[in-house]
Amino acid sequence: MKGDAGGLVDRFGRVHRDLRISLTDRCNLRCTYCMPAEGVPWIAKQSILTTDELERIARVAAGLGIVEVRLTGGEPLLRPDVVDVVARMAAIEGPTGPLEVSMTTNAIRLDRVAAELAEAGLARVNISIDTLRAERFAELTRRDRLEDVLTGIEAARAAGFAPIKFNAVAMRGVNDDELVDLVRFAQGYDAEMRFIEQMPLDAGHVWSRVEMVTGEEILEALSEAFRLTPLGERGSAPAERWLVDDGPTSVGVIASVTAPFCGACDRVRITADGQFRNCLFAREESDLLALLRGGADDERLAEVMRVSIAGKRAGHGIDEPGFLQPGRPMSAIGG
């Protein structure tokens, strides 16, 4: 499909350029804020998008103005052909040039494929690491895998990924005493540490605003140890950023609940089973999988994407009285 002048623009004038694609809903961790310990209702294997289908969706999206594809999960490195997926995505040309391909991962398998991913065209990695303490990591993730994560981080650096970003969900009474330590850890890798307010996307639907560590609290804790200098407007980026002690490293805070960036949001998502979502918190989805396997042409796929974006709401609605948590947890939506 040729570049489409219509693009993915909603009724509020937001132009969508960032596509998050979940490669699988499966994960090798069971983080308490994301998944139950057991009994996870996995997506049926036959419903997972094939690599050809992933590539086709990305090509259509690129024609509609998407310039970056972020590969997520579950844990994307659990997909056996992840290197091939990256290579195909990186080869796609949109109206303004090739897609930038990045990935969010827990890094547990990264040491096995980091060099191959870089060779295939992966530009950047965001690595999730909520704690630096092995016992706490095992309790939080229900898996004793911190050493594997650290090995994966070293592999990412050796493969030349830059800048590396680390993500941590700040949780009261769980890891809020490690915020400073995590920033110092990131400084050792010339990486940016990013703290995320816990959002109502847990499988057990037990999220509580009262228990959530706010972005303001995070900054207060960090300001006691570092000199933080604002790095200007964030635009459509989710994180507000500060230079740490005059640099070169920075820290970011993603305050999706207390300081939402919905007004500048440029993101859309596709789940591992081919559902197009115009918002992380959307309760409606558009079924691209059925269209792909039902013989729809690229123009039909593009039209469904445009219609979905046209119906995007002004914001996620967490503060609205009638807010309902999405039916799918974060692991099934894709980060």
Q: Residue 45's pLDDT band (boundaries 50, 70, 90)?
A: very high
pLDDT score for 262:
86
State percent of the chain over pLDDT 90.
75
Look up the pTM and report it.
0.91
Higher-pLDDT residue of 284, 223: 223
Annotate the chain with three-state secondary structure: CCCCCCCCECCCCCECCEEEEECCCCCCCCCCCCCCCCCCCCCCHHHCCCHHHHHHHHHHHHHCCCCEEEEECCCHHHCCCHHHHHHHHHCCEECCEECEEEEEECCCCHHHHHHHHHHHCCCEEEEECCCCCHHHHHHHHCCCCHHHHHHHHHHHHHCCCCCCEEEEEEECCCCCCCHHHHHHHHHCCCCEEEEEECCCCCCCCCCCCCCECCHHHHHHHHHCCCCEEECCCCCCCCCEEEEECCCCCEEEEECCCCCCCHHHCCEEEECCCCEEECCCCCCCCEEHHHHHHCCCCHHHHHHHHHHHHHCCCCCCCCCCCCCCCCCCCHHHHCC
Radius of gyration of the chain (CA): 19
Residue 1 has a pLDDT of: 46
Q: Where residue 2 falls among pLDDT bands split at 50, 70, 90?
A: very low
The better pLDDT of the pair 205, 162 is held by 162
- Tens digit of each residue's pLDDT (9 = 90 or more) over 245-289: 998 999 999 988 887 778 889 999 999 999 999 988 787 899 999
Mean pLDDT of 179-192: 97
Instruction: Tell me the pairing of strands 192-197 and 250-254.
Output: parallel
The whole-chain average pLDDT of the chain stands at: 90
- pLDDT surpasses 80 at 23: yes
Residue 3 has pLDDT above 50, yes or no: no
Quick one: pLDDT at residue 319? 55
What pLDDT does residue 114 have?
98
More confident residue, 234 or 4: 234
Distance in angstroms (rounded) separating the CA atoms of residues 141 and 136: 8
Please answer whether residues 333 and 71 qualify as being in contact, where contact means their C-beta atoms are separated by less than 8 angstroms: no
pLDDT for 320 beyond 60: no
The listed range with the strongest mean pLDDT (31-45, 156-170, 248-262) is 156-170
Lowest mean pLDDT among 5-19, 83-97, 295-309: 5-19
Q: How confident is the model at residue 26 (pLDDT cuts 50, 70, 90)?
A: very high
Is 70 exceeded by the pLDDT of residue 57? Answer: yes
The pLDDT of residue 200 is: 59
